């Protein structure tokens, strides 16, 4: 059997007695993307039937797709729990906004509601903060550039945090 077929067989065997709860440990480890998606659909159907699924995985994308609630562990201890969205909101790095503006004023940008950090390097502005900062940043850019008679930056990039960002923060991972 292929890896995907083998996993589907394991799922079928686990469900023979129609259990109320089923545990899957690293269910999609080593599967190709199409086999992984097939297994995900099977797990969703099991969950939607009312069976409680406990999924052990290292894949945050899989947890985002399949889990209503999560527990994140580090060194054998629980460091956080909640829905994937709650974990991203509480422990993620915050939304990021970047653009090029050689005349940007860091002190002024820091006063915008929801902005947590401002880094300006070589005319490139990088902001981190809460989602509520997006509209005020847009207004700031329009107002300041209109007052200067210059164009608003056209290279604005918004970086949405994801579950992997939050999990890496929770486990204390730092880039080397």
DSSP secondary structure letters along 104-171: --HHHHHTSTTEEEEEEETTEEEEEE-GGGHHHHHHHHHHHHHHHT-PPPS--EEE---HHHHHHHHH
Across the range 71-86, mean pLDDT stands at: 94
Taking the C-alpha atoms of residue 28 and residue 58, their distance in angstroms, rounded to an integer, is: 10
Of 17 and 109, the structure prediction assigns the larger pLDDT to 109
Q: What are the tokens at 133? A: 């900062």
Sheet of strand 115-121, all strands in order from the earlier edge strand to the far edge: 115-121, 124-129, 95-100, 157-159
What confidence score (pLDDT) does residue 114 get?
Answer: 94
The half-sphere exposure of 96 on its side-chain side, counting CA atoms within 13 A, is 14
Rounded to two decimals, the pTM is 0.71
- Judge whether 136 and 113 are in contact, CB under 8 Å: yes
Residue 52 has pLDDT above 80, yes or no: yes
Residue 175 has pLDDT above 80, yes or no: no
* Mean residue pLDDT across the chain: 90
Q: What are the tokens at 17? A: 């007695």
């Amino acid at each position: 059997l292929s890896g995907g077929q083998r996993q589907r067989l394991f799922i079928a065997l686990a469900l023979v007695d129609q259990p109320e709860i089923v545990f899957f440990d690293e269910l999609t480890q080593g599967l190709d993307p199409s086999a992984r998606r097939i297994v995900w659909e099977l797990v969703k159907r099991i969950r939607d039937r009312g069976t409680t699924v406990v999924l052990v995985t290292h894949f945050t994308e899989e947890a985002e797709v399949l889990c209503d609630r999560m527990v994140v562990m580090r060194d054998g201890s629980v460091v956080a729990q909640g829905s994937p969205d709650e974990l991203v909101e509480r422990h993620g790095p915050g939304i990021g906004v970047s653009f090029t503006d050689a005349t940007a004023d860091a002190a002024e940008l820091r006063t915008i509601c929801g902005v947590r950090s401002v880094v300006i390097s070589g005319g490139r502005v990088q902001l981190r903060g809460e989602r509520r900062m997006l509209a005020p940043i847009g207004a700031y850019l329009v107002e300041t550039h209109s007052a200067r008679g210059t164009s608003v930056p056209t290279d604005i990039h918004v970086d949405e945090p994801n579950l992997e960002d939050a999990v890496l923060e929770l486990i204390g991972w730092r880039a080397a």
